[in-house]
Structure 1
């Protein structure tokens, strides 16, 4: 049975509008918003803390640059008034940010992560968080990723990429749970 401490912190990663349009490839999880919004609502109702992470790209043509519409949070994922924001420009939410210091000041040992994309910023943040000593819970059905080209002219489907990364994270870096399991544990 999943247990979530009262001082656990929910970390939505890169729930941004840019990922819904080109040049980003096709995503697979058509339940992403439903699951993630249900999780966020239940977490807030439980009175636990949320720290949002947003990718503020420094790449000249990125749809995630701060001055672009794609940088904004997806509908429903905006911060509540008392919820802090950590901005990053690399894959890991801990690199070049004060996320670790914030978590340590809040005296938490458990972080719960979800977002876009499973294989990039979510996976990297899970791995770094685990390496820093946090107990990490990955909410796998509140994550999404993209179809990606392979080196032979084919495409690896987003669902296959997601499944492989979740398996790796489960093996060594995180406890993997569903939205339903996390909500039930609150």
Structure 2
């Protein structure tokens, strides 16, 4: 992966930043400043008129806080799309599956993605893996994502910070370049 950030044509892809993620049933999360970091990225992209695309999870599960028609399906106000920004709805954990995301990227000649959102080890990881496999130059903003504690297959509870760190480690260098918002903003013009 290249270490310098190419700004021309980069799509800021924001994944599942919806009110559902704030429901108490998720438990304690890591990176409480993620929305602030995403807000900084949004300001930077919007001020340059670079493409900002939002992925919205429309769950088909009747128990999900993400299902359509529920308050949790709405975007978080601090990172919500504005009128001219693309919103792509998905129903799986991967923004490429069952959507026209890849077609839109290729048609628009966008070969670089900057990804932030939730959940690091779920929808973010699934989407970043696919983006890397499809040949897109992908940057994952480590402090623009967050996740929750999980119990591993041996019954050991892993902290949200550990789950987040392991997911980033699994992705970095093979599927994407993991980067911080500060480094990205300093190098993107």
Question: What's the TM-score, normalizing by structure 1?
Answer: 0.96
Determine whether 1:140 maps to 2:142.
yes
What pairs with 1:1-186 in structure 2 (closer than 5 Å)?
A: 2-184=4-186, 185-186=188-189
Count residues with an aligned counterpart. Answer: 186
**Deviation at 1:153?**
4.3
- Cα displacement (A) at 1:77: 1.6
**Aligned residues of 2:114 and 2:138 also touching (Cα < 8 A):** yes
The answer (yes or no) to whether the contact 1:43–1:183 under 8 Å persists in 2 is no
After TM superposition, where is structure 1 displaced by more than 3 Å over at least 4 residues in a row? Answer: 151-154
Deviation at 1:5, TM superposition (A): 3.0
Unaligned runs of 5+ in 1: none
Taking structure 2 as the reference length, the TM-score comes to 0.94
Gaps of 5+ in 2: none
Q: Contact 2:54–2:88 at 8 Å: present in 1 too?
A: yes
